[in-house]
Amino acid sequence: MMSLLTPIVLLTACRDAPDDSAAAAEVSLTRLRAEGTQIVDESGETVSFRGVALGGWNFLETWIPLMAYTEHGRAVQLADEQGVGAEVRSAIAEIGPGDGAEWRAALAASLSASLSEDAIAALISSLEAYPLLWDDSDLALRQVLETRFGAEARDELLDTYQRAWFNEADVAWLAEEGFNVVRIPLGYRGLTTHMVDEDLTELRYNELAFSRIDEVLDWCEQYGIYAVIDLQESPGGHNDYSGVGTLYEDPDMQALTVALWDELSRRYSERDVVAAYSLLAEPMAAPSADARDEMYDQIIQAIRARGDDHLLVLHDGFQGMASFPQPEEMGWDNVVYSTHIFEWGADSLELYQAYIIFLESTITLAQDTHQVPYYVGSFSTFLDEDWAYEAAGEMRRLFERAGWGWTLWTYKRLDDPVDAELFGDSSSWGVRGGVPSGFTRPDPQRQSLEELQAAYAGYAEVTTTANEALLQALLGE
């Protein structure tokens, strides 16, 4: 099937902030609250979240903006430099994408018919010199940047990137398309100057990062879009993004996580543009529902002690929505229960339709018991296939029938040119995306400080293409 995602072009002017002719909507955003199973504004009108998550921004999953290489992508880059690009491309097309020692052995075996042992050894040796930064976590990236350039330069580089990847024009476009909320995933390393949990006793905050958050909130307020402040990674780790999460067994990390939320509440308690705080995104490291809820309770008590009455989103950690307690039994008020929905094994519309029947029956039953609003914080069918767009539309209609708010994962995602070339791969991860043309890919392990600064700033010049099929699935009738 021909991809529905057309190539990205460089159009700097389109990335400029909107002029007066594209003025903000001046929509008044009021404090939201839970009323039964609905989220309502100050006038009692129901507010149904439909939006996108800002993936790859503060909590920087490096695969989203192509800020790192897959191992097969790095192999192609190194092979071109060593004059064996054609042979390596042919071998990777044969064995498929991958990484690790077994994949490198398979690559070497495939190359044995076309290259000398010395040439193969040179390629494999150079490949092993660059550990993977392609990840759902930004820890490895931050460590490389700090090791090479120092902590201050690391934070300045990432600030340059954040300014470039998402700006006022993006918020204006989202509002114009009809989205009304953006979920902003944050990582504690992105909010502080810290790197690792060892010997961490207090949090030192990164004001550059908070400046960027404040800027995004101001734009959201200007264009009438709510924001969900979402903690993607906590001290100690409430999930396994950066290794084994230890939050639930480490009182010191629990205290720091509570302190972080106390600080976030201090900064944002008066801002009505903040629809909700999502306390722990995907807390799947919790050994039990009780451990998960005990951690939630510590955070909730700290936020409420400030008099902060924002909606609080609690994710089930994939233990099932029925695993949540009755809010009144915990003394919780103004809470929203949440999960994320990704069906990795589905390869047809029929499988999604069966999945939707299961979701509707089981989750609706749980909500009937809890009597609180439900919110699907992340979902995607992620494949660039006609049936997958149909499935995305049916998922959205399920959420509308059930009255659940939703945010798609993710707003933008760049498709890897190497994967497009070798495997014909494209995706629908973002409502804006595609294969970049003329894109200077950042290489944190090899480029100089000046080259990286320019590469990060260059994201402002990459105009992503709207995925019209996905937009129709999300926002159509």
Q: Is 200 found in the same domain as 87?
A: no
Domain of 394, in residue numbers: 9-68+134-475
User: How far is the C-alpha of 306 from the C-alpha of 10, rounded, in Å?
Assistant: 47
- Cis bond before residue 410 (omega within 30° of 0): yes
- Residue 189 domain-assigned (yes or no): yes
Instruction: Give the residues across from 184 on adjacent strands.
Output: 229
The number of domains in the chain is: 2
Domain boundary among 81, 100, 128: 128
pLDDT of residue 91: 98
| Residue 15 domain flag | yes
One DSSP character per residue, 79-126 reads HHHTT-HHHHHHHHHHH-S--SHHHHHHHHHHHTTTS-HHHHHHHHHH
CA 160 from centroid of its chain's CA atoms? 18
Considering the domain architecture, whether residues 121 and 152 belong to the same structural domain is answered as: no
What is the domain-level CATH number for residue 450?
3.20.20.80
Work out the number of other CB atoms within 10 angstroms of the CB of residue 136.
Answer: 16
Distance CA(185)–CA(183), nearest Å, equals 6
* 81 lies in the same domain as 147: no
Mean of pLDDT values over 392-404: 98
Residues 83-106: tens digit of each pLDDT: 999 999 999 999 999 999 999 999
Q: Is residue 3 part of a domain?
A: no
33 domain residue, yes or no: yes
In this predicted structure, what is the pLDDT of residue 438?
A: 77
| Chain segment 187-234, per-residue pLDDT in tens | 999 999 988 777 789 999 999 999 999 999 999 999 999 999 999 999
Indicate if 64 and 181 belong to the same structural domain. Answer: yes
Structural domain contains residue 61: yes
Locus of tokens 């933008």: 412
Same domain? 108 vs 210: no
Which of 105, 128, 151 corresponds to the end of one domain? Answer: 128
**2 belongs to a structural domain:** no
User: Is 200 in the same domain as 262?
Assistant: yes
Q: Please choose, from the candidates 8, 150, 211, 194, the residue with its C-alpha nearest in 3D space to the C-alpha of residue 452.
A: 150
Model confidence at 140: pLDDT above 70: yes
Are 56 and 79 in the same domain?
A: no
Q: Is residue 387 part of a domain?
A: yes
Domain stops at, among 128, 146, 161: 128
What's the helix, strand, coil split of the chain in %, to 5? Answer: 45, 15, 40
This prediction has a pTM of 0.93
Same domain, 407 and 463: yes
Residue-wise pLDDT for 229-249, tens only, equals 999 999 999 999 998 999 999
User: Residue 198: what pLDDT?
Assistant: 77
Based on the domain organization, do 121 and 139 belong to the same domain? no
% of the chain beyond a pLDDT of 90? 90
Assign 264 a pLDDT band (cuts: 50, 70, 90): very high
Q: What's the confidence (pLDDT) of residue 27?
A: 67
Is 145 a residue whose pLDDT tops 80? yes
Query: Residue 300 burial (CB < 10 Å; 0-12/13-18/19+)?
Result: buried
Mean pLDDT, residues 169-185 taken together: 98
Determine the Cα–Cα distance for residues 154 and 264; give it in Å rounded to an integer: 23
Does 80 fall in a domain? Answer: yes
- The DSSP call for residue 6 is P
Nearest CA to 403 out of 372, 360, 374 is that of 374
- Going from the C-alpha of 419 to that of each of 90, 93, 379, 391, 416, the distances in angstroms are 13, 10, 23, 24, 5
